[in-house]
Amino acid sequence: MSQVSKPIIRTASRPPVKKPLGLPWTERNGKFSPFKTAVLIGLCLPGLYTVFLVITNDLGARPVNEVIHQLGLWAIRLLLISLVVTPFRQIFNWPRLLVVRRMVGVAAFVYLALHFSAYIVDEAFNIGKVASEIVLRLYLTIGFVALAIMLALAITSTDGMVRRLGGRRWQNLHRLVYLAALLGSIHYFMQSKLNVYEPIVMGGVLVWLMLYRCIGWLSNFRRATSLPSLGLLALGCCLITALGEALYYELVRNIDFMRVFSLNWTFVGGIRPALVVLMGTMTVALAKPLWDVVQPKLRHR
């Protein structure tokens, strides 16, 4: 008997599904994100304000030098903010913060790259002189190494690079951000010369960030986010900041160590960096239990 062949049914081929563009103001599914948009606008504001000061000629006698200063200042600020994201996500149980961590880190690199570009402009595009200055001046060498690290992290910040490198290797590479933050803080401190107030505050914040992570790595992050740990951490960082400031003035300015150290516990001459660090870190500690009460109520609405 002859076999009857089955009819071939042809189905129309479906067009390939287009992946949504990974725009900074959209979610992974392509939908508009008010949260990410607000963060993006906030990240652009310092740069736009600097441009406004340039247009209005309101940057003082050395406008390019002031542009260099402002861009570098915001680079280190945003770098520290990017490192704050993970602790805040854990302390306040706010996973949504993670969606903007990469954006903040890339913005820090952009400001840092503009900071370096403005320095090249200030040197009249004399690349040879720029290179020699980087080699001969220690604080510029430190800053350039931080820039190189941030460049590597920015290039490998995409999802595609995560897949190529593998999760573990990518994570190990991006831990260099701590080194970049340390080098950036040292660079800022060294070039500040007379006014070291904000660099010392930033140093205290960086100490808090690193000690918090050390507690989490050595024990667990549940313990690190507890109120007693956060409170003791705030007091410890305050003390370290005060000791660091007093040591600096003793070694560099020849001002008596105990005189500077004792000023941290008074309001004579204003609020010292150690108290600024204490107020900021203790606010985080005290906000933790309050947020634990408020957050469930917000979720049920």
Domain boundaries, the chain: 31-192, 194-290
Q: Summarize pLDDT for 207-217 with one digit per residue, the tens.
A: 999 999 998 88
pLDDT at res. 20: 58
pLDDT at res. 27: 82
pLDDT at res. 115: 96
267 DSSP 8-state letter: -
pLDDT at res. 104: 95
pLDDT at res. 208: 96
pTM score, whole prediction: 0.88
C-alpha distances in Å from residue 266, one per residue of 119, 256, 259, 298: 39, 16, 11, 40
Contact predicate 35/103, CB 8 Å: no
**Amino acid at residue number 171:** Q
For 184-216, the DSSP string reads HHHHHHHHHTT--HHHHHHHHHHHHHHHHHHHH
pLDDT at res. 105: 94
pLDDT at res. 131: 95
pLDDT at res. 16: 52
- Phi then psi for residue 26, to 5 deg, are -120, 160
pLDDT at res. 126: 94
- Residues of the chain falling short of pLDDT 50: 1-2, 11-12, 17
pLDDT at res. 292: 81
The widest CA-to-CA distance across the chain, in whole angstroms, is 111
The two structure tokens encoding residue 106: 């890339």
Q: How far apart are CA 146 and CA 177, in angstroms?
A: 9
Q: How far apart are CA 200 and CA 259, in angstroms?
A: 17
Q: Summarize pLDDT for 60-90 with one digit per residue, the tens.
A: 888 999 999 999 999 999 999 999 999 999 9
The two structure tokens encoding residue 256: 């008596």
| Half-sphere exposure of residue 211: CA atoms within 13 angstroms, side-chain side | 18
pLDDT at res. 2: 47
The helix/strand count (H/E) of the chain reads as 13, 0
pLDDT at res. 1: 44
pLDDT at res. 158: 87
pLDDT at res. 198: 93
Q: Where are the beta strands (DSSP E) in the chain?
A: none
